[in-house]
Every structure is written in C-alpha cells, then in structure tokens.
Amino acid sequence: MTFYPNLIRSLLRLGTLVLIAASSLSAAESASVGNELIARDVSWDGGRVSTSTIHNFVGQSQTPVAGGDEFSLTVRLEGAIADVRLTAADFSVSGSQSGPGNASLDVRLIGKTVPLDVVVRYFAKPGEPWMRKQLIVTARQPLRIGKVEIEHIAVADAVAPYHADQLTARGAAQWRPPLGQPVYTQQSGTWWGTEFPAARNEVKGGELICGYLTTVDLAVGETWSSHPSVVGASDSPAFVKDAFLDYIDATRARPLRLQTQYNCWFDYGKAVDTDKFTASVRKVNEELVIDRDVPPLRAYVIDDGWQDTAKDWSRGGVWPVNGKFPSDFVQAREEVARAKSALGLWLSPGCVFGGQPAIPKMRAAGWRTLDPWMSLTGAPYMDALEKRMVELASSGIAYFKLDGVFGHLNTRNFDIEGFKGGEPELNDSKYDEAKERYLALGSERLMKIFQRMGTANPDVYIVISNGAFLSPWWLQHIDAVWMINAGDAAKGTDRTAELVYRDAAYFQLASADADNTQFPLNSIFNHEPKKTATGEAPDDFRRYLLMSLSRGTSFVELYLKTFELSESDWDVLAEGVKWAHRIFPAFKRSRMIGGNPKMSEVYGYTGWTTDSGYLSLHNPSDEQREFQITLDRSLGLPKSATGEGATYRISSPLAEDAEALPKTATAGQPCQISLPPRTVRILEFTRTAPGAVR
C-alpha cells in the first residue's frame, strides 16, 4: 500500500506552503507563490524585488538563489542615443497583491531613473508542476524595448544541456541556433526556459538567464507584456528532461496525434496537376485503406507546384492557385473526402523554392524583400500571408507544410540593415545579435499567424520545415518541426546506407555526445518513409520501413511512386502503417539509444507506455554484435512501470526473428539481444500479470 506515505508527503508539502505563507505574511515584505508541487519565495525587502528559493515538492528539493538581477529590460528613451539596461535595483516596489491560495503574486514597481512602471507577475495553476513569471511594462515616456530578461538569477547548479551554436547564413547542414532550449539544475532537478521559440535560455558566469531580443515601441501609457518564463519540477535530476518533455506535451497547441498522410512530391514534383493528384489519391486509398484495411490517412498533400507565380501577388493576394487546379481545389477536395481524409498544401512563408519567381513583382511594389527571398518582418507581405493562410485554413485545408521559413539546408536569410539577406559575411559572430533579433521578430509574426490558423481550423496540422530551428516551444504553436541539417532524400546505395544517413542526423541532434537537442522525437519531421521503386525484397523493405517508423515520430508522411509499386510493396507498406497505429501510444516517450550510426555502432529507438513498449535495433556493421538493455527509467519506461519484478513478454512484428529473441524481460534486469551483420530487429514488450509468464 502506498496511500499513507503519499498522504504524509502531501501533508508535508501543504504544511511547508502554509509555514512559508505564514512567515511571508508576518514579514509583509515577502511571499511564497505556487501550488502543491512547486513554489517560489519572493521578497521585496528594502524595496527591491528578488527570488530567494524555488521549492521542488515533487523531488523534495530546493533551488537556492544567491543573487542576480532578478530581471532586466534594455530600453532606449525617445531622443536618446544609447540604450540603458534596467534591473530590479533600478525600481522601487510600490505595492503587491497575492491571488487566491497564493497561486499568483503581482509586485508593482516604479522606475527610479527611467519613467517606466513594471509589474512582475509570478503565477501557477493547480496540479501543474511548473509555474511562470512575466513582466508587464507601462511607459510614462515614449521608449523602445530592445531586450528583456525575465529571469536573471544566480543558481549554482544550473547547466545548459544544448551543445551547439551555429547561427550561420551560409553552410550546408550548419544551422544550429542556440535558441529556445531549456536550462536544467543538476542537484535540485528543476528546468527553466521562456515560452518563446526564439528565446535565449543560458547560463553565464553562474547566472541563469531566460530572455530574448525584441523591438517594441511604446507611447506614453501603452502597456506591453513579455513572453512568460517558466520553471518546472522533476522527481529526480536524472530525469529532469522527461519532466520537461512532459510539460511540452501538456502545453502543445494540439494534442499529440498520429498524422499519416501521402505527399505527391516524389510522384510528380512540380508537374503535379488535378488529374495526377486525384489519381494518386484514389490509388493510395484503394491499395491501403480499401484493400488492406489501413485506417484512412489524415491528409493527402499537394506539394510545390500549385501556386501561380506569374501573377502580381502585391495586387491580387499572395499564393494564388495556378491553372492546373481550380481556385478552390474542388476536385482534389472531393477526392480526398471520398477517401475520408482532408487536403493538405505545401507553402513557403519566405517564398523559397517554388515561391521565388513571384518575388520581383512584390519587390517592384515596394514590399520588403531580401536576396533572394521575402522578409518575415515586412508588414505588407506578412499581412497578406496571414490573410491567405487563415483563409486556406478556414476553407478546410487541414495540413500545411511550411517550407523555407528562414532559409534552407545551405543558406539562411536575415533582414539586417546594410545586407541583402544571406551574404557569407553574416556568418561572422559579430552579427549574431542582429540575426537573433530578426529570428525573434519573424518568429513572433509567424506565431500570430499560427494562432489564427488554429482558431479558424482547430484540427489543423502545421509543420515548419526548411530554415526552422528545433525549439520545443514551437510545439505550443505548431505540430512538428523539420529535423534540420539533413537532406529530403536519405542518401545511400542500399537500405542500410539510407538508414545510417538519416539516423546519423538523428544522433547528431539527439545524442548527449553531440548537440543534445532537447526536443521530443515524436514531433520530428524526417522526410521518411519513401518507396520510389519496386523489385526490392519484401523483407528488406519491411525492415527499413519498421526501423524508419520506430524513430517514434507521430508525423508519418509517405513518399511514393504510387503507380510503380507492386502488390507486395503495398502489402508491406500496409503492415508498417498498421504497426505505427498500434504502437503509437509509445511514441509519446520515444528516444534514441545506442551508439553512432556513422561509426557502424549498434543503435536504435525505444518508446514506452505504463504497460507496453517497443525497441528497434540496427547493426549497420559487417560483424555480429551483442546489445544489452535494462528495462528501467533510463531506457524510457515511466516511473510507474518500473516496479520491482515487473515482467514483460517479448514479441516481434518480424515473425522470422522470434526464435532469435529473448522470450521475456524483467524490469531492472539486463536483457541481451544478438544482431547479425547489417540487421534490423524490432522487439515489442507487453507487461504481464504476476505469475502469467513461465
């Protein structure tokens, strides 16, 4: 029985909060704000607001704060020639107000030397093991805000797990901006960040800083609110990433779902038209859904090739439909409706790839353009883009592949004074602040569009592709992000080489020994699986397909040469899509394990629910290999699934592998798998009732 220990822990947490609140009230210059899972001690002794402690009741730990600026604002007054950086020390406390149950606290500040009022708001919701902080700024004189640091506190055990820093304009697969990644504490098990993809959350000189660049002009009396910072609690520093990703999952724009769809790009490229597309929709639906009982795909997607770039977009609206389709895609919509699905479209916010020929007329009209693409901060174009994308979403377009956001694999564009957009000189780090500011402003503009699209169509699915960057906070606005720094077609002479190419890119972004990107693999767009020729041995295709799907992304887009596939090809494809549907609940906790694919080391993927899971392994080498796992939290099992002695029955969708695999595995005990050369193994684990396995 665990009732009494849990009750005692809950009472202790409640008692701690009551004691903190009581002492706060008696002091009259301090308070504790939070809930039963996390709390923050705030004081304004002597008129300066500051944080002293974060209480992690989930992990029974504390994060002491040993000073810092608490927050900062970089502003420039109207008529001034220089910025001024303001911190909590530059303000006096004029009052405070606590919300019901100490779940929120507003501390009101008045600028000592700058005519500026600030409310520092700390707030939490019941039952959430995280809480937020926000700055609300009111100008008493015209000014411009150029930078905000919502958090600026001294935390001794804070670390930034993300290892990369490539904010480049030129360079193939060299795009790793240090933006929108969390900070963790090593002893107290808390995670920190800003709820904004283009924020810089970092540790500098022992200071934990969460902030971002902006350009906000305020007139007298105008008020502006920052994006919130957020701090969360975990039950153990060893699993703080799991706690952080649980928060991301809980705050997504839309719940995680399995998005299976067909994309016409490998079928037709830019030569797609109504007849070709509808023929492929009929064929895919017939082969997979009607003949093989695959659940209906969620979308059929017209890729690059539907837009009319001969028209003047500055006059008639951006992203018009060309003569290959009617303006409302009526035949395509009817065909996908018969397939019990919805229509999706490719589109490039920056007019990259197939949108580029439309740019000269917009440039001639005075719209803000770069070389060679559009600025994502130019008002006329972005306003027109918003109108068009919301219109499409309202009309029932259910999927958007937004390609060419801030550039592509080889080149990125920035709207910086004195530059055309993507010059090699912009690789110099001295331009990083200007580049980062453009990314922040462009991201904010896109976020507003995404919000309106979601309102227009609550079931919409949005992917940001080339030129995006992997911040998990994007998922509060869209559904999946391109894995970046990889090509659309996996390179290789055979399926082993193709897997190694794509999985090496996964290793680079996900491994703690490489970039260590803190991003859920279940929301990666990886441009797989593809089947563009027939004649392949069914077993080779099946193992490639299952290994590809086992990466654990919920976004499964099929790239096919639809009319070249054999009956056997369709059989295997149907098996794979059905497997993804069955195993999908485990994708919520998908992760990569093992070694470096480029070094021919055994690697794979795994995902778990409370009572089941899967494991994929690939041995790309020419030698027999052994691989050992332990079913524990480090492998991805939820804490509730790691009970002592829990037993799992092992099976495989690859029936011929059954004899070579262990029959059972026990939580906490090692389990060894043999891998012949150049082999894929797929294992499924089902938790059994006590005594059920013999």
pTM: 0.95
**Straight-line distance from the first to the last Cα atom of the chain, in angstroms, rounded to the nearest whole number:** 27
Contact of 210 with 151, CB cutoff 8 Å: yes
Q: Is the dihedral of CA 505, 585, 569, 279 positive or negative?
A: negative
- The CA distance from 238 to 608, in Å, is 18
Contact of 131 with 35, CB cutoff 8 Å: yes
Taking only the tens place, the pLDDT of each residue in 103-158 is 999 999 999 999 999 999 999 999 999 999 999 999 999 999 999 999 999 999 99
Q: Does domain 3-250 have CATH number 2.70.98?
A: yes
Backbone angles phi, psi at 338, to 5 degrees: -65, -30
What is the mean pLDDT of the segment spanning 684-689? 93
Contact of 152 with 87, CB cutoff 8 Å: yes
Identical fold between 3-250 and 591-687: no
**Tokens 């000269």 map to which residue?**
360
Contact of 484 with 410, CB cutoff 8 Å: no
- Omega into 372 within 30° of 0, i.e. cis? yes
Helix (H, G, I), strand (E, B) or coil at 468: coil
Whether the per-residue pLDDT at 6 is higher than 60: the answer is no
Taking only the tens place, the pLDDT of each residue in 301-358 is 999 999 999 999 999 999 999 999 999 999 999 999 999 999 999 999 999 999 999 9
Joined tokens for residue 207: 């200071």
Contact of 590 with 521, CB cutoff 8 Å: yes
Joined tokens for residue 76: 């420039």
- Report the half-sphere exposure of 361 (CA within 13 A, side-chain side): 16
- The CA distance from 252 to 524, in Å, is 14
Contact of 469 with 177, CB cutoff 8 Å: yes
Whether the per-residue pLDDT at 634 is higher than 60: the answer is yes
Q: At what angle do helices 538-549 and 567-583 cross, to 10 degrees?
A: 30
Taking only the tens place, the pLDDT of each residue in 410-436 is 999 999 999 999 999 999 999 999 999
Distances in Å between the alpha carbon of 46 and those of 11, 49, 120, 448, 563? Answer: 33, 9, 16, 40, 76
Contact of 109 with 83, CB cutoff 8 Å: no
Looking at residue 86, its amino acid is L
Whether the per-residue pLDDT at 693 is higher than 60: the answer is no
Count H helices and E strands in the chain, helices first.
12, 35
Whether the per-residue pLDDT at 4 is higher than 50: the answer is no
Closest alpha carbon to 133 in 153, 156, 105, 155: 105
Locate the domains of the chain by residue range.
3-250, 259-587, 591-687
Taking only the tens place, the pLDDT of each residue in 212-224 is 999 999 999 999 9
Give the pLDDT band of residue 490 (cuts 50, 70, 90): confident
Contact of 331 with 386, CB cutoff 8 Å: no
pLDDT score of 690: 66
Q: Which CATH number fits domain 259-587: 3.50.50.60, 3.20.20.70, 2.60.40.1080, 3.30.1280.10?
A: 3.20.20.70
Helix (H, G, I), strand (E, B) or coil at 655: helix
* CATH code of the region 591-687: 2.60.40.1180
Closest alpha carbon to 169 in 443, 474, 438: 438
C-alpha 571: how far from its chain's center?
33
Integer-rounded Cα Rg, in Å, for the chain is: 27
pLDDT score of 61: 98
- Burial category of 452 from C-beta neighbours within 10 Å (exposed 0-12, middle 13-18, buried 19 and up): middle
DSSP 26: H
Give the pLDDT band of residue 28 (cuts 50, 70, 90): low
pLDDT score of 114: 96
What does the CA dihedral 489, 492, 497, 499 come to, rounded to 10 degrees? 10
Helix (H, G, I), strand (E, B) or coil at 312: coil
How would DSSP label each residue in 377-443?
T-HHHHHHHHHHHHHHHHTT--EEEE--SSB-SSBB----TT--B--GGGGSGGGHHHHHHHHHHHH
- The CA distance from 637 to 586, in Å, is 10
To the nearest whole number, what is the mean pLDDT of the chain?
A: 95
What is the mean pLDDT of the segment spanning 614-618? 99
Taking only the tens place, the pLDDT of each residue in 187-211 is 999 999 999 999 999 999 999 999 9
Whether the per-residue pLDDT at 20 is higher than 70: the answer is no
Distances in Å between the alpha carbon of 343 and those of 264, 328, 346, 646? Answer: 12, 11, 11, 45
Helix (H, G, I), strand (E, B) or coil at 448: helix
Instruction: Count CB-CB contacts under 10 A for residue 45.
Output: 13
Distances in Å between the alpha carbon of 94 and those of 40, 47, 51, 138? Answer: 20, 8, 17, 14
pLDDT score of 491: 80
Contact of 68 with 54, CB cutoff 8 Å: no
Closest alpha carbon to 188 in 34, 59, 67: 59
Contact of 243 with 282, CB cutoff 8 Å: no
- Report the half-sphere exposure of 571 (CA within 13 A, side-chain side): 8
Contact of 653 with 576, CB cutoff 8 Å: no
Contact of 526 with 533, CB cutoff 8 Å: no
- Burial category of 125 from C-beta neighbours within 10 Å (exposed 0-12, middle 13-18, buried 19 and up): exposed
Backbone angles phi, psi at 619, to 5 degrees: -105, 100
How would DSSP label each residue in 37-91?
SEEEEEE-GGG--EEEEEEETTTTEEEE-----EEEEEEEETT-SS-EEEEGGGE
Buried-state track 405-415, b at ≥16 Cβ within 10 A, e below 16: bbbbbebbbbb
